[in-house]
Amino acid sequence: MNTESEVNVFVHSVLHYFDTTVQQVADCGTPYLALSRTPEVSDYTGMIKISGKREGVVFFTAPKNMLCIMLMQMQETDMSHDNLCDLVGEIANTLSGNARRDFGHQFNISVPSIVHGRNSTVDYPAHSRPIVIPIEWRTYHARLVVCLN
Amino acid sequence: MNKAAVHRLMVVDDSNVIRRRIERAQDLPGIEFVGAARNGREALELHQKLQPTIVTMDLTMPEMDGSDCVAQLVERDPLIRILVISALADKLTAIDAIEKGACGFLCKPFTDRQLNDALYKLIEE
């Protein structure tokens, strides 16, 4: 499986999440290599770490407002910090589940972790450049970041 | 209590968003939501009090995962019907859950309709 196929697994996971859970299509923008080694994270970030045949991190990062509207679409009335963490955690959980299914046992995939705040830092693998995939939904902008070496 | 309800539903998931979503989305006549647990250990504690007849069960949870909880619930109550709802989408995970005693498997993410279809199959079989 090449890098493009690997990235597509994650992109489809996120787009499928929007299709099924909030039942509104999200769009994938043009992927790009991060100019800096550390792409900015947004308010809430759900992350999985990968080891084995490839090493690195994959995360979905989104602004609070976007996650609140997603919860509203799910008929949820509680926009608490815990529920926002839950939501990005579930998206990361989907990334993890699909990666396990499609990549098989050559990849070890961690349980998802959640970080909060735009100043959060991510441990990227050495000698790698993250691929950033913009995810557009309604008027909101999230990012899927795939960094594997 | 809904007197027409014949199936008592307990939801087990470490995500509050998912627990509440399943509670809201399930709308089959004959199913009454009786409670929710955040992990397998809590589900076992609540089982005696709530006496659910059907359960939706996440797999990856802290303290006690869903796979162990399925096995213990089935040992306590062989008639209980358990629908595993998990993001772990590979066949081996589904087969393992069924071997432990689950009656069905639904992949996350899911639509309300997919949830109700899966619950319908659970109570009709």
**Interface residues from chain A to B (CB-CB < 8 Å):** 16-17, 20-21, 23, 71, 74-76, 78, 82-83, 86-87, 89-90, 93-94, 96-98, 100-101, 111
CA dist A105 and A131 (Å) reads: 23
This prediction's pTM: 0.91
**Mean per-residue pLDDT for B2-10?**
78
Residue span of the structural domain in which A22 resides: 3-148
Question: How many domains does chain A fold into?
Answer: 1
Q: Which residues contact B99 (CB under 8 A, 6 or more apart)?
A: none
Kindly state the percentage of chain B with pLDDT values over 70.
Answer: 96
Q: With a cut of 50, list the residues of chain A below it in pLDDT.
A: none
Q: Which residues contact A124 (CB under 8 A, 6 or more apart)?
A: A37, A38, A56, A57, A130, A147
| B12-27 pLDDT per residue, tens | 999 999 999 999 999 9
CATH number, residue A129: 3.40.1550.10
Tell me whether B57 touches chain A (CB under 8 Å): no
Q: Which of B17, B89, B114 sits opposite A86 (nearest CB)?
A: B17
Collect contacts of A67-75 with beta carbons under 8 A, ≥24 apart. Answer: A67/A43, A69/A138, A69/A140, A70/A21, A70/A22, A70/A137, A71/B17, A73/A21, A73/A22, A73/A23, A73/A24, A74/A21, A74/A22, A74/B17, A74/B21, A75/B21, A75/B24
